Every structure is written in C-alpha cells, then in structure tokens.
Amino acid sequence: MYAVFGWIMFLCIASVLLFNLFYVYPLKWKEKKFVLGVKSRKEFKEEETAKKIDEIVERTHKQAMMITIACFAISGILLLIKGMMMQTFFWTLFVFITIIVDMIPYILGHSALMSLKKSLGIKSGDGINLVDLKLSGKVHALKPVSVIVPNVLGFIPVITALLLDLKFFRLDGNKIAGSFLTTLIIGTFWFMGILITLFAFVMDNMRNEVISSDSDVNANYNRAKKKNAADLNIGFIWISVIYTVITAGGFFFYYSEMLMVGALVVYMLLMFVDVFVFIHFDKKIEARYLKETELLTDDDEYWIAGMFYYNPKDKRMNVEKRAGVGATVNFAHPGGKIVGIIGIGGMLLALGSLVWLGLLESTPISLRVEDSKVICHQLRDEYVIPFDDIDSAEYGDDILSHTVIRVAGVGMDTLLKGNFSVDGINGCTLFLNPQEKEYIKLVTKSGQIYYIGGGSAAETFTAMGRIEHR
C-alpha cells in the first residue's frame, strides 16, 4: 500500500515540477504579457535590453531545471522508504520544501528584471487598474446549471452512504456500513466539488481585464479567458463526481484497497489532463491577443517577489496570477488578509500534524496493569479501564485474522489507535501494534469493546494474566 502511495506522490511532484519548468520559467518570454512577474513592454524588446532579458530568463530556466532534476532524484530515493507513516511524513515535508525551493529562481529572476527596469529609467505605474465601463458586469462565461447539475448528482451517493450508516436500509455483506467511513471519504470529494464551484463563480465574476482601447477586443479577450477557466472548473467538478460515484460503488458492493487506489490514480491523472488542456488554450488565447494588447496596468511594484499581490489602491479581492495559472488574492483587501491568515494557519497546522505523526510513529505503546486498572499508554495514558468496569476478557493470537476498518483515529503499520469497525461491529476501540498479533479483547459492562495490546507479545500475555486474576 505504501509503495502505491509513494508512486502517486512521485507522479504528482513530477507533474507539478514539469509544469513549473515550462510554464513559470518559459524561454520564449516575448510571447508573454509578463516576464517572471514583470510586465512586458516594448522597451524590453529593444535589441540590447532583449539580450539582457534573454540572459536572465535562460539563467532562471537553467536553475529551475537543476532543481527539477534534483527533486526527481530525491523523489526516487523517497520511493525506497518503507511504511505508510514514514512515507506520509517525508513526502509531505518534501512537498513543502519543494514548493519553496522551486520558486527561488523565479524570485531571483524577478528581482533582476526589476533592477533592469529601474536602470532603464522605466517607472512603474500607480497601480490603479483601468476599467472598461462599457463592459462592466457584462462578460461572463459560467452557466450556473453546468455546475449545479454535477454537484446534485454527486450528492446522491453521499446521502445514500449517510442513510446506510444511519441504518435506514442495509446492504448484505457490507461490513463497512455504519462506520461512517464511506460517508466521510466520498463526502470529502463531493465537498471539493462544492469548493471548486465557489471558486468557479469567483473566477467568472472577476473584474474584466482591459488590454485595449477597443471595447470589443476587451470583451472577446475576457470572454475567452473566462470560458477557458469555466471549462477547467466544470471539468474538475465532473471528475470529482465520477470519482465519488465509483468510490461509493466500491464501498457499497466490492471493497478493495487496490481498487480504491486505482480509482484515486485515475482521478489525479484526469485532474492533470484537465489542467494541461486549460494551459494549452490559455496559451492560444494570449498568443491570439498579444498584438492587440496595448493597455495593461503597470502595477509591478505591488507584486511582492512577483507572486504576492498587495495593492491598497485596488479594491479587487481576486486578481489573475503572474506565476502559474488561476487567481490569487489581493492581500491588502480585508478578505485577502483573512485568506492569508487562514493559509498561514493551515501550513502551521500541517507542519504541526507532521511532528505529531512523527511522534506517534516513533513512540512505542505499552500496556500495564496497576491499581486495579488496565492502562494503555503512548505519550500519555490513552485509555484507563478499571477492573470493576470489565465484563469479560478474551485473549487472541492474531488480530490480522479480523476485518479491521479505521473510522476515526490512527491507522499505521505499527499502530492502530482510536475508533474502528471490527468484523462489521462498529464503535470498537483499538490500541495495539498490528505487527504484534497478540491482543486482548475487553468488553465493559456498558457494552464498549476494546482490542488492546502491548509493545510485545510478552507484555500483552502478562497483562492478560493479571486481568484474569483480578
């Protein structure tokens, strides 16, 4: 399982790195509106200046290529790591580092171009964006029905899974039903479709960009750009819906981890195909209107490192990215500040989670009996079960002979802890190392079922002896 996860991460990293190499660091800069986050202009295309820009662009492309090759090599090494938890830890950490390192050439190139611009005596504009009043609020490409229909269809398997969990009906042979695992997984992907829908409306309602003094040119340009963005988001939503339906079918009728992983791989590949189709048409649109682009807001000074937009004079919350594709926020806007705080908080939370998961992976569990209590300990006393609460105790020699499905908690190669479904019985509490197959099944007087074990077979066996003689 961890090997498949590693290859999925490898393909994701490889796709993103190659995309950045050829889209964020293009060598044919004269065909672009922006060069490394700096507005392209006629002065840049004069012979001597163009040569200097060629040198900057080629240098940054070369640096990005070296980083890409190095990341490919490191990704190959990460494929050799064994254990799902270790794979998750190192891949997540590697993704964070790669995102930062891969943008260093862009930041350096942007700085060099800004210095060149200054040396040429070119002053940046005041950052006030032009508005074509003739087109105000008139150019849209997203039809609401095109995103409402797939989301409604995607909600059908979600509500079906929820009703199954709530025992409104049964499916014979389905051991996962009632654990809410199916609802959680397919509900997550359906909710992603909802988030994409919200983003699609934001993109469609972005202020129209003014590139020409001719309103017809502006209308056609913005209509083409918004239609391409709408197609991208509609594709994302349909892919999420299809994956939701396939995954629900797998959980309902034939559960297989390999089938689920295979469906996830196809889902990710389709997402990448959708992105590359978007990029292809975006390039065609920009090339089509390049010669007609005569008016373009010069707000270079308001783009920090060419990536982060901070312009108090601009009342827009969302603006088109200069690095990559899609939109970013104006961090000077109140809404943009909230997004920024949430983003930073999310990253800190993710890093904190990595540290926590690392501690769980490296800290052994222990099982002891003292003061007439059974104590399950890892980092702290996780579960404390008084003798007086125990109704029955049973010793087992192979936990892997049971069908164990995680509902909420930790599921690692060396640790199962939390709320699980065992052989179709929901609400079981597990605390054991599955590599040590021996376990104790405790049933309390309230009906709560525990499957617990120590850090070794001897520790579990000793605890069982003390429980029997309570």
Q: By mean pLDDT, which of 20-34, 81-95, 264-278, 400-414 is the weakest? A: 81-95
State how far the Cα of 403 lies from the Cα of 371, in Å rounded to an integer.
33
pLDDT greater than 80 at residue 251: no
Query: pLDDT tens digits for 303-346?
Result: 898 888 898 887 777 787 887 777 788 888 888 888 888 888 87
Quickly state the pLDDT bin for 187 (edges 50, 70, 90).
Answer: confident
Q: Residue range 236-264: average pLDDT?
A: 79
CA distance 307 to 102: 13
- Residue that is written with structure tokens 């975006």 in the block: 282
Residue 99 has pLDDT above 80, yes or no: yes
pLDDT reported for residue 93: 83
Residue 390 lies in a domain: yes
Distance CA 110, CA 116 (A): 10
CB 39 within 8 A of CB 296: yes
Instruction: Specify whether the CB–CB gap between 81 and 410 falls below 8 A.
Output: no
Q: How many residues does the chain have?
A: 470
Identify whether 86 is part of a domain: no
pLDDT over 60 at 174, yes or no: no
- pLDDT, tens digit (0-9, with 9 covering 90-100), for 409-444: 887 778 899 988 888 788 899 999 988 889 999 999
pLDDT at 57: 93
Name the band, by pLDDT with cuts 50, 70 and 90, for residue 175. Answer: low
Question: Does 361 fall in a domain?
Answer: no
Residue 117 forms part of a structural domain: no
262 inside domain: no
Q: What is the pLDDT of residue 136?
A: 61
Q: How many CA atoms lie within 13 A of 325 on its CB side?
A: 22
Asked if the structure places residue 395 within a domain, the reply is yes
Give the confidence band of 178 by pLDDT, cuts at 50, 70, 90.
low
In terms of pTM, does the model score above 0.85?
no
Q: What is the mean pLDDT of the chain?
A: 83
pLDDT at residue 52 in the model:
93
Going by their DSSP bridges, the two strands 439-444 and 390-396 should be labelled as antiparallel
Q: Is residue 399 part of a domain?
A: yes
Residue span of the structural domain in which 407 resides: 366-468
Q: Is it the case that residue 256 has pLDDT exceeding 90?
A: no
* Count of domains forming the chain: 1
- Bridge partner list, 429: 419, 450
Residue 433 region by backbone torsions, left for phi larger than 0, else alpha for psi between -120 and 50, else beta: beta
Asked if the model's pLDDT at residue 153 lies above 70, the reply is: yes
**pLDDT for res 84:** 63
What CA–CA distance (Å, rounded) separates 241 from 343? 26
Contacts for 236 with CB less than 8 Å, ≥ 6 apart: 193, 196, 271, 274
Contact 314, 299 (CB under 8 A): yes
pLDDT higher for 324 or 373?
373
Residue 425 lies in a domain: yes
pLDDT of residue 172: 65
What does the pLDDT read at residue 385? 93
- According to the model, what pLDDT value does residue 430 have? 94
Top pLDDT among 231 and 409 is at 231
pLDDT at residue 47 tops 90: no
Statement: residue 185 has pLDDT above 60:
yes
Does residue 257 have a pLDDT over 80?
no
Bridge-based pairing of strands 449-452 and 425-432 is: parallel
Section 182-194 average pLDDT: 83
Q: pLDDT digit string (tens) for 443-462?
A: 999 999 999 999 899 999 99
For residues 157 and 253, what is the distance between their CA atoms, to the nearest angstrom?
13
Lowest mean pLDDT among 186-200, 226-240, 244-258, 376-390: 244-258
Q: Report the 3 state secondary structure along the chain.
A: CHHHHHHHHHHHHHHHHHHHHHHHCCCCHHHCCEECCEECCHHHHCHHHHHHHHHHHHHHHHHHHHHHHHHHHHHHHHCCCCCHHHHHHHHHHHHHHHHHHHCHHHHHHHHHHHHHHHHCCCCCCCCCCCCCHHHCCCCCCCCHHHHHHHHHHHHHHHHHHHHHHCCCCCCCCCCCCCCCHHHHHHHHHHHHHHHHHHHHHHHHCCCCCCCCCCHHHHHHHHHHHHHHHHHHHHHHHHHHHHHHHHHHHHHHHCCCHHHHHHHHHHHHHHHHHHHHHHHHHHHHHHHHHCCCCCCCCCCHHHEECCCEECCCCCCCCEEECCCCCCEEEECCCHHHHHHHHHHHHHHHHHHHHHHHHHHHHHCCCEEEEECCEEEEEECEEEEEEEHHHEEEEEEECCHHHCCEEEEEEEECCCCEEEEEEECCEEEEEEEECCCCCCEEEEEECCCCEEEECCCCHHHHHHHHHHHHCC
